[in-house]
Structure 1
Amino acid sequence: MKAFGNVLKAVIGGLIWLSSHQVFSAPADLRVKTISVPVYNLITETLIDITPRIKGERNEFMMQLVCDLARDSKSQEAVNAILTENNLNPESIPAKGSSLSLLVNNDKPQQQAACASFIATSLFFPVDNSVLFETKKDEKGKDVTTLDSAGFAREMKVRMSIAQATAQFYAVIANNLKKEKNMTWVDYQKDVASITADYAPEYLRSIKRIFAANQATYIPRDITVGGYDVQDSNGRRLIQNSMESLLVSRGVDWLGNGKIMGKEYFVDIQVIDSAAKVKSGKK
């Protein structure tokens, strides 16, 4: 540790000497001022960022109610009743400025956009498959945990439908991103958010359509309490665990590994302000 400390001191000392004796070139003098970034990551991180949170955490209870309002599966009166049952006074929640505002402000477009981002990003967070297992007594009276076949089939139909609709969602965003020069990461995030707001109603409808048309059967390749790897009878495979999320369609990466419906998209992000001129030199 002492040797490392000496090395660190030498490095810092050298940097201080350089800053006082050497003239640095301005970043604006560099020929290339952008870096190429995978659109897959841009979309994913933006959707995670714009998903409402409570105290910095995703909240299933709140977002389920927001989605119920967004899809008109529950009335405002029904949501108010649920809030009251959970010791939350709907009348005390402001229409703006609170993490709970979406539950009372009757802003359908905002609710739909929030619901879309929440559902899409559910593919990138840990899953709890405990509800898919059931415990029964064997012939000797011992507890045996097995997979609930009916519950597994229902749940996988939902998750596969979400994954398919989300792949299309990503493709819509990727193909509608602005092609302007000098756009920063923040600029692109705003663009992703804007496209999400426009497409959200169709995304929610597409999940319902895909689910209704889905007649596939599912085979568990590997399933644990915290993850799964399943294949359906239509040639699709869905993997989700703490390390990855991947939808494969007939051998093609449909969503995951940086690909969107089998294609890699990139955008150029400006990381150096071309207009900035840093004056430096000897005094």
Structure 2
Amino acid sequence: MNIKSISVAILILLAAWAGYEKLLTDQPAQTPRNWLRVPALPVIQDAIVQMSPRFNEASKAPMMEQLCALARGEVKQEQVNAFLKQQGIDAQTVPRQGSPFSLLVNGDQPGQATACAAYLATSVLSAVNVAEFMRPVVAPAANGQPEKSSLQIDNALLTSALSIKLALARANADVFALIAVELQHKPGLTLTQYREQAGQLFARLAPTYLQRIKEQLPPANTQYTLLQMDDSRFLFRSSVGSVFEFGRNGLVLRQGGILWYGKGRLMGQEYPLQVEYFPAAVKPLLASAVSPLTTLIP
């Protein structure tokens, strides 16, 4: 090979390398190797479940009814104090912080709204308590047999319960999606940091969430069809195009055939977060040992 041929080969190689460098600089920065894409929904759910007040099961429903009434401004403190007295609790002895009952007596309205919103958002993510829409029926004694009591579906209670569950599921989808979009603007956080951010955002949006429940209540003339109700699955559909299911996959809501909530999706979208899922120490373990220049030279 003469000098001219060698010069041409070098020029071609340099031109190729310059083009490769330009290709690298024109492309957006690569995502760090220790980051993974994680759906936002389970991250947000985990954060809000942790925010729900901790009462024992026997007193949880009545206590939260009072707390939510305080958050909405529907009762006065004197009424709540009287309720607590009926439960054997002296409001004057309840500490203003640190007790499950503190929010019932300390006048912290933002805290009350956050606790109420977290409780309601979490309630629709739990197994359905069929006692909500059942009433006891007593069969009179006959033919020497003692009277028998059983539970029977009350249609009015059922309609009310299903309407509320649908409103809660829709409000969850709306507000959780809003939080998910905000979290996407902060790539590279750890899962713990994303949960903290989700909790802080939900606390700020608690009044919005409570209002959203009212706005998402189906029309009064909505019809409901209960499709399945057993230990493994609770399923119903509505005349407004909703299908509500709670089972092994948790809450799944479909609206107009679109997956509106559940299976990692919100309002039909997954909203992935760029999570620093592994420590930075794993990056050199994944890096290629081959230099880009070696791929250009035979």
Q: Sort the TM-score into its range (normalised by shorter chain).
A: 0.7 to 0.9
- Describe the shift of the 1:223–1:87 C-alpha distance in structure 2 as closer, same or farther (beyond 3 A): same
Determine whether 1:234 maps to 2:240: yes
- Describe the shift of the 1:65–1:194 C-alpha distance in structure 2 as closer, same or farther (beyond 3 A): same
- Describe the shift of the 1:169–1:88 C-alpha distance in structure 2 as closer, same or farther (beyond 3 A): same
Determine whether 1:173 maps to 2:174: no
3-state SS of 2:280 partner = coil
**Native 8 Å contact 1:66 1:111 kept in 2:** yes
- Describe the shift of the 1:34–1:56 C-alpha distance in structure 2 as closer, same or farther (beyond 3 A): farther
What's 1:221 paired with? 227
What's 2:84 paired with? 83
What's 1:161 paired with? 167
1:233-274 Cα distance to aligned partner (Å, 9 max, x none): 111111124652111101111111111011111112213443
3-state SS of 1:177 partner = helix
How far 1:224 sits from its partner (Å)?
3.9
1:1-283 aligned within 5 A: 32-54=33-55, 59-134=60-135, 135=137, 137=139, 146-177=152-183, 179-211=185-217, 213-224=219-230, 228-241=234-247, 243-274=249-280
3-state SS of 2:217 partner = helix
How far 1:275 sits from its partner (Å)?
8.1
What's 2:18 paired with? none
3-state SS of 2:124 partner = helix
Q: TM-score scaled by structure 2? A: 0.74
How far 1:227 sits from its partner (Å)?
5.1
How far 1:53 sits from its partner (Å)?
1.2
CA distance in 2, matches of 1:111, 1:74: 13
CA distance in 2, matches of 1:253, 1:276: 36
- Describe the shift of the 1:98–1:215 C-alpha distance in structure 2 as closer, same or farther (beyond 3 A): same
3-state SS of 2:70 partner = helix
**Native 8 Å contact 2:218 2:240 kept in 1:** no
1:105-130 Cα distance to aligned partner (Å, 9 max, x none): 11111111111111011122122113
**Native 8 Å contact 1:68 1:74 kept in 2:** yes
How far 1:225 sits from its partner (Å)?
7.2
- Describe the shift of the 1:174–1:131 C-alpha distance in structure 2 as closer, same or farther (beyond 3 A): closer
Please provide the CA RMSD for this pair.
Answer: 3.0
1:202-249 Cα distance to aligned partner (Å, 9 max, x none): 110111222274531111111247852111111111112465211110
What percentage of aligned pairs have identical amino acids? 27
How far 1:165 sits from its partner (Å)?
1.4
- Describe the shift of the 1:226–1:137 C-alpha distance in structure 2 as closer, same or farther (beyond 3 A): farther
Structure with larger Rg: 2
How far 1:161 sits from its partner (Å)?
1.3
What's 2:3 paired with? none
Q: Where does structure 1 lack aligned partners over 5 or more consecutive residues?
A: 1-30, 278-283
CA distance in 1, matches of 2:59, 2:87: 18
3-state SS of 1:42 partner = helix
3-state SS of 1:68 partner = helix
1:168-213 Cα distance to aligned partner (Å, 9 max, x none): 1111111122523431112111211121122110110111222274
CA distance in 2, matches of 1:207, 1:251: 21
Q: How many residues align?
A: 247
Code of the aligned partner of 2:89: L
CA distance in 2, matches of 1:205, 1:109: 14
How far 1:66 sits from its partner (Å)?
1.7
CA distance in 1, matches of 2:130, 2:179: 30
